[in-house]
């Protein structure tokens, strides 16, 4: 004797007491020639849960999850791409690069304008002096963004640099948007 749901007409497998499709109680009876679900009002039917496929999650749930992952992934990529970085992040990264002695990395964060004002030798010397000053103070311990003001193509970032000996220094750093990346500018 086959069991059919009296609410939705779905044939049931095994000795289920409730419909695998809609959750209605199962009434066991002989298999009908053709299965036609009985007509009942929406109020009389129990609330149907999500349709289940035989292989796990419903297809729409999987597709929706994939779309959500793609959207989130795109937003994360935009946020962390070089063009999507903030002036405050560039300014902070610049001082951290100096702290770690990465002079070439720090130079890469400078605008063409600033690099043109200082030749490579002077630039290396200035960056080395800043690094030496940080070492005398016990190294850079923390950088706090105090203020970030962004205009269309330029920005001003105020950073509070905290050194190992407790000394704090406030740096006003001007940046410009160059080739879709924020770069340290000549003016402070």
**pLDDT tens digits for range 92-120:** 999 999 888 888 898 899 999 888 887 77
Sequence ranges of the chain with CATH classification 3.10.450.50: 86-184
Q: What is the pLDDT of residues 135-187, one digit of tens each?
A: 899 999 999 999 999 998 999 999 999 999 999 999 999 999 999 999 999 76
DSSP-based three-state secondary structure for 96: helix
Is residue 176 within 8 A of residue 113, CB to CB? The reply is: yes
Is residue 1 within 8 A of residue 30, CB to CB? The reply is: yes
State the Cα torsion 48-51-54-59 to the nearest 10°.
Answer: -170
Cα separation, 148 vs 169, in Å, equals 16
The correct answer on CATH 3.40.50.720 for the domain covering 86-184 is no
pTM recorded for the entire structure: 0.54
Q: What is the pLDDT of residue 29?
A: 55
Nearest to 91 by CA among 11, 9, 4, 171: 171
Q: What is the pLDDT of residue 22?
A: 83
Q: What is the pLDDT of residue 38?
A: 54
4 or 56, which is more confident? Answer: 4
Percent of the chain with pLDDT over 70: 66
């Amino acid at each position: 004797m086959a069991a059919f749901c009296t609410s939705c007409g779905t044939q049931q497998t095994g000795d289920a007491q409730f419909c695998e499709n809609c959750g209605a109680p199962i009434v066991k009876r002989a298999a009908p020639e053709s299965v036609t679900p009985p007509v009942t009002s929406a109020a009389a039917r129990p609330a149907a849960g999500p349709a289940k496929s035989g292989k796990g999650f419903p297809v729409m749930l999987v597709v929706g999850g994939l779309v959500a992952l793609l959207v989130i992934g795109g937003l994360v990529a935009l946020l962390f791409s070089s063009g999507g970085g903030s002036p405050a992040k560039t300014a902070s990264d610049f001082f951290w690069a100096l702290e770690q002695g990465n002079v070439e990395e720090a130079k890469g964060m400078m605008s063409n304008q600033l690099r043109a004002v200082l030749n490579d030798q002077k630039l290396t010397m200035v960056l080395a002096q800043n690094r030496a000053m940080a070492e005398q103070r016990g190294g850079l311990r923390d950088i706090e963004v105090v203020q970030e003001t962004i205009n269309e193509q330029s920005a001003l970032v105020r950073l509070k640099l905290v050194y190992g000996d407790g000394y704090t220094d406030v740096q006003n750093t001007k940046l410009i948007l160059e080739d879709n990346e924020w770069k340290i500018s000549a003016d402070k």
